[in-house]
């Protein structure tokens, strides 16, 4: 069977690519080994965030695309524009946030700096000894399983097709083979998250495990997603464990709490020690939450590349094979811009973003 494009993996990235491709007139078929949105996507926080750093351009463009999609029907993905409040523990961190504000401004992303008193006005529940913060009012949150389904439904409505419960076992040179020896031919995009190396062993990818906690509903939840400025330190620490306070108010009044990063672990066990370290960090910033009860905890695996940037583009040395992998912890945010870049690449169109930083060739020997 022949289609213009076969997208392997229907998480947030695969679904977004199918939608962008179908919009561009490519007849698309999604192949999902399990069920849509139940892998890495489901485990994530669903924080739509412009992140200062190497992925600034990608995340800023993504937020534009997300708002375009979500603000028409915000209910479907439980979208809310909460903004992100980055919180500085001391003067050094606040100075770093100020420099971050300059780079955001240059990228056209508005943000507002807050001193200690301003921070307390934004979120009175924060500890009183903090230095200040940076507010990105354009950021938001979604419920990832529903976001995947909203995007998938849009793609299916435009004529995309999906096969669920079918694993792609091999690349053939002009398509893929599925379990049961069914062959599909066409250009192929691999968007299988941490399982990427099963089909593309040449692209280095390591899982970085993370823990999350959801609490019971609280009468006075914070208004913003609150993240400590030190969070980005963990992004750049490739080994060992790092934890940071990251608290998201859900529309139900519950709090979704992260975050932890552990490289090289691929199990799904919840570690009490990691939970303790992570929650200790949360109580340092939000000391009033101690008596609030946690309902559930879980873990997820972020697929990480050696340089922290995703692979978006043609896979060198293979005919008609494209990669959309390695989005680490930012896949929900960066899925729409990833899809745009990739489909532009397939069609040979010039893209709004420069594709060079994401070219998979950079990590091949």
Partner 1 sequence: MVDGFDLVIVGAGPAGLEAARSASRAGRKVAVIDDNPRPGGQIWRHDPTGRAARPLRRLLSDLQSHEATRLFPGHRLVAFESGPTLVLESATGAQRIRGECLLLATGARELFLPFPGWTLPGIYGAGGLQALAKGGWPVAGRRVVLAGSGPLLLASAATLLRHGARIEGILEQAPTTDLLGFLALLPRWPLQTLAALALLRRLFRVPYWRGSWVTEARGREGLQEIVITDGRRESVLPCELLGTGYGLVPNIEAANLLGCELTAGPHPAVRVGSRGETSRPGLYAAGEITGIGGAGRARLQGALAGAAAVGDRRQADRLLGRSRHAEAYGRHLARHFRLGEPVRHLARPETILCRCEEVPLARIAEIPGDDSRSLRLLTRIGMGPCQGRICLHALAETRPEPFLPDWLTRPRPPLFPARLETLAGPERGPLP
Could you list the beta-strand ranges (E) of 116-264.
132-136, 140-141, 161-164, 168-171, 175-178, 183-190, 206-217, 225-228, 241-249, 254-263
3-state secondary structure of 78: coil
How many C-beta neighbours within 10 Å does residue 127 have?
15
User: What distances in angstroms separate CA 80 from CA 33, 42, 166, 200, one per listed residue?
Assistant: 30, 18, 34, 36
Q: Which is nearer to partner 1, 80 or 314 (CB)?
A: 80
DSSP 194-229: GGHHHH-TTS--EEEEEEEEEEEE-SS--SSEEEET
Please provide the size of the chain in residues. Answer: 365
Query: Is 220 a residue that touches partner 1 (CB under 8 A)?
Result: no
The answer to the question of residue 241 lying near partner 1 (CB under 8 A) is no
Q: How far is the CB of 29 from partner 1 (least distance, A)?
A: 18
Q: Which is nearer to partner 1, 140 or 145 (CB)?
A: 145
Residue among 20 and 257 whose Cβ is closer to partner 1: 257
| Residues 244-263: x where in contact with partner 1 by CB under 8 A, - otherwise, as a string | -------------x------
Distances (CA, A) of 52 to 55, 60, 310, 347: 7, 9, 15, 30
Show contacts with partner 1 in window 156-175 (CB under 8 A): 164-165
Q: Which is nearer to partner 1, 71 or 267 (CB)?
A: 267
SS3 (DSSP) at 84 = strand
What's the chain's Rg over C-alpha atoms?
A: 20
Applying CB under 8 A, among 171, 213, 226, 342 the residue interacting with partner 1 is 213
Return d(Cα 333, Cα 356) in angstroms, integer.
Answer: 20
Interface size with partner 1, residues (CB under 8 A): 40
b/e burial code for range 251-265 (CB count within 10 A of at least 16 → b): eeebbbbbbbbbbeb
| Per-residue mark of binding to partner 1, 21-50 (x: CB under 8 A) | -------------xxxxx---x--------
259 prior amide bond cis, ω within 30: yes
Contact stretch for partner 1 (CB under 8 A) within 54-62, 82-90, 107-115, 211-219 = 211-219
- Residue selected from 68, 71, 73, 216 as contacting partner 1 according to rule CB under 8 A: 216
User: Which segment (107-115, 191-199, 225-233, 290-298) binds partner 1 by CB under 8 A?
Assistant: 290-298
What is the b/e burial string over 29-42, where b = at least 16 CB atoms within 10 angstroms of the residue's CB? bbbbbeebbbbbbb
Binds partner 1 (CB under 8 A): choice among 108, 201, 290, 348 = 290
- Give the residue, chosen from 56, 125, 127, 177, that forms a contact with partner 1 under the rule CB under 8 A: 127
Helices 56-70, 331-347: crossing angle, 10 deg rounding: 100
Q: Which stretch binds partner 1 (CB under 8 A): 104-112, 227-235, 271-279, 354-362?
A: 271-279
**Minimal distance, residue 149 CB to partner 1, in Å:** 7
Q: Residue 280 interacts with partner 1 (CB under 8 A)?
A: yes
For partner 1, give the closer residue by CB, 164 or 172.
164
In the complex, the residues that contact partner 1 under the rule CB under 8 A are 34-38, 42, 127, 129, 145-146, 149, 164-165, 213-216, 257, 268, 270, 272-273, 275-276, 279-280, 282-284, 287, 289-298
């Amino acid at each position: 069977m022949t289609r213009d494009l076969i997208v392997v993996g229907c998480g947030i990235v695969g679904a977004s690519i199918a939608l962008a491709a179908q919009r561009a007139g490519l007849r698309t078929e999604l192949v999902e080994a399990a069920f849509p949105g139940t892998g890495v996507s489901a485990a994530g926080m669903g924080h739509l965030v412009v992140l200062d750093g190497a992925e600034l351009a990608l995340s800023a463009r993504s937020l534009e695309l997300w708002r375009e999609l979500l603000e028409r029907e915000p209910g479907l993905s439980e979208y809310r524009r909460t903004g992100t409040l980055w919180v500085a523990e001391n003067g050094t961190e606040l100075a770093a946030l100020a420099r971050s504000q300059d780079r955001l401004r240059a990228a056209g992303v508005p943000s507002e700096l807050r001193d200690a008193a301003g921070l307390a006005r934004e979120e009175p529940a924060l500890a009183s000894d903090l230095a200040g913060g940076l507010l990105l009012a354009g950021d938001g949150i979604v419920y990832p399983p529903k976001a995947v389904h909203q995007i998938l439904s849009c793609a299916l409505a435009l004529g995309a097709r999906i096969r669920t419960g079918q694993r792609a076992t091999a690349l053939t040179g002009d398509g893929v083979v599925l379990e049961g020896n069914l062959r599909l031919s066409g250009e192929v995009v691999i968007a299988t998250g941490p399982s990427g190396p099963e089909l593309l062993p040449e692209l280095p990818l390591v899982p970085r495990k993370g823990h999350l906690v959801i609490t019971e509903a609280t009468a006075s939840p914070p208004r913003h997603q609150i993240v400590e400025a030190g969070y980005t330190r963990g992004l750049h620490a490739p080994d060992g464990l790092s934890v940071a306070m990251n608290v998201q108010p859900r529309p139900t009044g519950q709090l979704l709490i992260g975050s932890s990063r552990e490289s090289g672990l691929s199990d799904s066990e919840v570690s009490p020690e990691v939970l303790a370290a992570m929650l200790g960090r949360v109580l340092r910033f939000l000391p009033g939450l101690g008596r609030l009860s946690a309902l559930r905890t879980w873990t997820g695996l972020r697929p990480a590349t050696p340089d922290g940037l995703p692979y978006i583009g043609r896979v060198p040395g293979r005919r008609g094979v494209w990669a959309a992998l390695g989005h680490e912890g930012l896949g929900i945010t960066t899925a729409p811009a990833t899809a745009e870049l990739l489909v532009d690449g397939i069609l040979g169109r010039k893209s709004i973003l420069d594709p060079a930083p994401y070219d998979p060739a950079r990590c091949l020997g």
